């Protein structure tokens, strides 16, 4: 936790956080669509489709869903899924895969983003994970810098083209 504001906290997400999470996710989808219009093209009813999905993740045993709350509003969240490794790899335990990780302000990656990541790291380790994998677009530079400072390395890339 940082010393910026005593009203800030990182905590487990609850159903009441859904609308804030959906707002942040929708903004991230728009930003990512500008990076790669085909790959990240939002579905027509993306928000409506994501609501029951996020609701299910909040209570799922194999997910760690965290929010950062500041002044009674959600200004950051992430979802981490605990998964076994593929049968051809043996990292020594579970992997925590973070696909959804969004903040209200891009300038907050070094603080809010880092706090969310570190709390996820602690909780994932307590549940048997030995590594974290975070999905991020190369153009998401602020997030990438925070991940670098947190000791995360690029170990794989996806390449996309039209067919």
The CATH number that applies at residue 65 is 3.40.630.30
Nearest in space to 23 (alpha carbons), one of 50, 63, 1, 57: 50
Range of the domain at 115: 9-149
Please check the confidence at residue 3 and state whether its pLDDT lies above 50. no
pLDDT value of residue 4:
52
What does each C-alpha distance from 26 to 23, 40, 47, 58, 137 come to in angstroms? 5, 12, 7, 18, 16
> Do the domain assignments include residue 161?
no
> Do the domain assignments include residue 156?
no
Average pLDDT over residues 81-108: 97
pLDDT tens-digit readout, 45-91: 999 999 999 999 999 999 999 999 998 899 999 999 999 999 999 99
pLDDT value of residue 104:
97
How would residue 6 be classed by pLDDT, with cut points 50, 70 and 90? low
pTM for this model (two decimals): 0.93
Mean pLDDT of all residues in the chain? 95
């Amino acid at each position: 936790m940082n010393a910026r504001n005593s009203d800030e906290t990182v905590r487990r997400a609850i159903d009441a956080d859904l609308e804030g999470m959906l707002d942040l996710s929708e903004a991230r989808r728009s930003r990512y669509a500008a990076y790669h219009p085909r790959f990240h093209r939002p579905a027509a009813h993306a928000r409506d489709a994501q609501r029951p999905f996020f609701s299910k993740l909040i209570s799922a045993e194999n997910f760690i869903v965290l929010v950062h709350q500041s002044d009674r509003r959600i200004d950051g969240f992430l979802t981490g899924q605990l998964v076994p490794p593929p049968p051809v790899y043996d990292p020594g335990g579970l992997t925590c895969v973070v696909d959804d990780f969004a903040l209200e302000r891009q300038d907050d990656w070094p603080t809010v983003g880092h706090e969310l990541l570190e709390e996820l790291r602690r909780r994932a380790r307590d549940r048997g994970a030995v590594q974290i994998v975070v999905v991020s677009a190369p153009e998401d530079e602020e997030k990438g810098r925070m991940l670098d400072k947190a000791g995360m390395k690029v170990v794989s890339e996806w390449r996309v083209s039209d067919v």
